[in-house]
Structure 1
Amino acid sequence: MYSYSLQDNKWKSLKEQRNDPSAYLDLDLGESKTTADATDSQASMEVRNIPPYDPAADTSEKAYLFDEIIPKNIRPHLLDIVGHFESGEFGLKGYGSFVSNRVNKLQELQGEDQERLAWILSYITHLLSLLARNSSMSKQKRKEKDQTIRGPMIPQAVHRKLLLMFTEPGSSSLSTEKHELLINYILVLTLFADDFRSEPTDICADLKMNRQMLKPYYDQLGCKSVSTGAFKPVFMTLPAPLKFPQQVTRRRRRK
């Protein structure tokens, strides 16, 4: 399992990056790398605040490691959505816009393909619930908000996994780093759900963020936006191999 427990001061908040265009310069994909360059590349890979990935993957499907993003031991707990859909109870369970607009795909699939989509849609739902429960507010207000949060109950095994991944020991709140990581997990899963061509309007609504606010997250994941023309929908895609924005480190001037 990947570890993301780095000190907050080692991270540059995406809020700061939104105001710093230089932090999103495109990488120069040149020829071969020197040994030193390869070492630097490996170091930068280890500190990216994104889900587990394979920088050498040559397809979008393999770029982010699905088996590590949704581990096999929690998948049996992510199938309730199929029962909710087939029983007609789905509309009463408080699922978000993104999942609600894609749940009909379940009836078009069978076997492993249906299960895989169910895992993805359920996990997106539970990640959104965790994000809502851990918004930056006082404990009392968080308790009050918990009473009104919509969405199906998070299974205990899944909840335990999410707390281990996204909260610090002894705390139920998210650090800035973990908050950003959680959003990146959600966005990667939306790409899986949409076969790596995702129109982000409904996930924007679920996250209560507009497209401009989500752009640094998509950039950080190596996504590109495409459109078929003026006044046409803009889709987020995931070219492979992944090409990440270069993070610029500013040097202090000598006095």
Structure 2
Amino acid sequence: MNSEPEDTKSQLTQNQETPTKKKKKKHRAPPTPTPPPPPTLLPVQGKAKVQVLHENPQKAPPFVGYFSSSYDPLRDNGGNNSEGSDGIGSPRVRVYRSQKWPKRVQMVVSPSRSNVDFVGTNYSGEATIGQRYKYALGVFDKESQSLKIVPVACDRVFRLEPKVRGLDVADEEPESSVKEETSAQQKADKMKELTILFGTKKSIKEAKKKHSLNQEDNPKSQEELSGRIKEVKIKKEALESTDANIARNVPPYDASATSPQEAYPLDKIILMGEWAFLEDIFELLQVGAEVSPKTYPTFVCNRIHKLQEIQDEAEKRSLSCIFSYITHLIKYKDQNSMDGVSSAKGHRIPSILSQKFSTVFSPESKRLSAEKNDLLISYVLVLTLYADEFRTDPTDIAKDLRMSSIKLRVHYEHLGCKLSRQDSLLSFTLPLPLQFPTVRQKRRR
């Protein structure tokens, strides 16, 4: 028998006992993709041309709407104005105007394939807060390197709120606010609340003082006032020597003035902060637009040629502001009278002037009293003297004030003016020193 060597046997048994070890494969994580580098913004070379487009009464200003929610019309439309590959087109935009109140405008944006509309108004909600601010819209054209700035009226900015179609009955405006406009008293109350919340110490003190003076219905204040009046000693001699009440129902004046400009100071009629809101006529002339007789009184339209003849820009701006102030006074008188409401329909008085007029002339139930009406006419006539260099023809302003020349003559005389005739033309001048008409008393027999 053949016998194998021991060495080979030991190797075989050793190989059979120890199985071969396999190497385990390591699973590596896939490499993370590196984000692309941010786009480099190249600086725009050259100078951009800035063009400011002024308001044109013959063209409608733009409408601006912004969404209060996360809705993005460009994202939902795929960034295209035309219908995309998914069949979703651009949203539909509509603007509605009330037939009863032309100032009330409503904007509705309807996305395609959706039952939700975005609605914004200029007479309710947040739009009523921003009536005192001015806005502008800027459009930059990269190709022509030009920037166009267009003014946007405060009532043309809409906050678009989402509303489901068919469920907007509960969101309608209450009947009381729809039937009548916000009264001057309600606006004054809102301004008072804002002043107390956010005003300075000086403005809060003035608001409280004004409120205490206007407390006519408070019985306590009436009792205190009547008690103080009883304590006042009345001198009959002083009453007999006083002039008529209407003679003193005039703007602030200086009886000892040596020039007509000092007799009725212009800075006490038009305050310093009001001049910036009276540049509408000046801007129309800068653009080359026409001053329409439907918007401005006859007195102003017949004297526009004076502005075109003036070379000094500061003098032209000052005279145009006086014309604008006369316009606002006449329109305010028409708004608070029975015979001129239709002519003042649609006219907008700046809020700073509207608040001042309501304080100085204080109309009750949207009607001026006889005394306040005479005071407003006196303000207008003084400004006409400034416009005509203190020699004015009363024909145009009598037509604007809807008064006869005889009644207007009485108002001029109460201002201290005298009627003069020059080349068969009647005009009023302001001689110095000021002399007001006195009360004629009957002699006793």
Q: TM-score, normalised by structure 2?
A: 0.42
Match of 2:432, SS state, is: coil
Residue-by-residue CA offset, 1:85-139 (whole Å, 9 max, x unaligned) = 33314227611110001122222332321121012101100000011111147xx
The counterpart of 1:68, out of the listed 250, 257, 268, is 268
Q: Does 1:189 align with 2:383?
A: yes
In the alignment, what sits opposite 1:246? Answer: 438
Q: Check 1:148–1:56 CA distance in 2 against 1; reply closer, same or farther (3 A cut).
A: closer
Match of 1:105, SS state, is: helix
The counterpart of 1:125, out of the listed 307, 316, 327, is 327
Match of 1:172, SS state, is: coil
* Corresponding letter in the other structure for 1:208: R
**Structure 1 residues 156-167: aligned runs within 5 Å:** 156-167=351-362
Residue-by-residue CA offset, 1:145-186 (whole Å, 9 max, x unaligned) = 645526852111111111111115x64321111000000110
* Greater C-alpha radius of gyration: 2
In the alignment, what sits opposite 2:315? Answer: 113
When you count strand as a share of all residues, which structure comes out higher?
2
Task: Report the alpha carbon displacement of residue 247 of structure 1 after superposing the two structures with TM.
Answer: 2.3
- CA distance in 1 between partners of 2:410 and 2:244 (Å): 17
Task: Report the alpha carbon displacement of residue 77 of structure 1 after superposing the two structures with TM.
Answer: 0.3
Q: Check 1:80–1:120 CA distance in 2 against 1; reply closer, same or farther (3 A cut).
A: same
In the alignment, what sits opposite 2:299? Answer: 98
Q: Check 1:73–1:41 CA distance in 2 against 1; reply closer, same or farther (3 A cut).
A: farther
* Corresponding letter in the other structure for 2:275: R
Q: Does 1:155 align with 2:350?
A: yes
* Corresponding letter in the other structure for 2:255: P
Task: Report the alpha carbon displacement of residue 197 of structure 1 after superposing the two structures with TM.
Answer: 0.4
- CA distance in 1 between partners of 2:240 and 2:314 (Å): 36
Q: Check 1:43–1:78 CA distance in 2 against 1; reply closer, same or farther (3 A cut).
A: farther
Q: Check 1:151–1:186 CA distance in 2 against 1; reply closer, same or farther (3 A cut).
A: farther
The counterpart of 1:78, out of the listed 270, 278, 293, is 278
Residue-by-residue CA offset, 1:7-57 (whole Å, 9 max, x unaligned) = xxxxxxxxxxxxxxxxxxxxxxxxxxxxx9xx8899759981001000000
Judge which range, 154-163 or 198-207, deviates more.
154-163
Q: Is the Cα contact below 8 Å between 2:243 and 2:438 reproduced in 1?
A: no
- CA distance in 1 between partners of 2:322 and 2:426 (Å): 22
Q: Is the Cα contact below 8 Å between 1:197 and 1:237 reproduced in 2?
A: yes
Residue-by-residue CA offset, 1:43-91 (whole Å, 9 max, x unaligned) = 7599810010000001112110111111111110011111123331422
When you count helix as a share of all residues, which structure comes out higher?
1
* Corresponding letter in the other structure for 2:261: E
**Structure 1 residues 1-255: aligned runs within 5 Å:** 48-87=248-287, 88-91=289-292, 94-109=295-310, 110-136=312-338, 146=341, 148-149=343-344, 152-168=347-363, 171-229=365-423, 232-248=424-440
Aligned residues: 207
Residue-by-residue CA offset, 1:180-211 (whole Å, 9 max, x unaligned) = 00001101100000000001111111111121
Q: Which has the higher contact order (CA 8 A, sep 6+)?
A: 1
Q: Is the Cα contact below 8 Å between 1:96 and 1:151 reproduced in 2?
A: no
Q: Is the Cα contact below 8 Å between 2:244 and 2:438 reproduced in 1?
A: no
Q: Is the Cα contact below 8 Å between 1:129 and 1:151 reproduced in 2?
A: no
Structure 1 residue ranges without an equivalent (≥5) = 6-35, 138-144
% identity of equivalent residues: 39
Q: Check 1:243–1:250 CA distance in 2 against 1; reply closer, same or farther (3 A cut).
A: same
* Corresponding letter in the other structure for 2:420: V
Residue-by-residue CA offset, 1:194-229 (whole Å, 9 max, x unaligned) = 000001111111111121111110110000111125
Match of 1:91, SS state, is: coil
- CA distance in 2 between partners of 1:86 and 1:171 (Å): 39
Residue-by-residue CA offset, 1:209-252 (whole Å, 9 max, x unaligned) = 121111110110000111125xx11011000111111124679x
Q: TM-score, normalised by structure 1?
A: 0.72
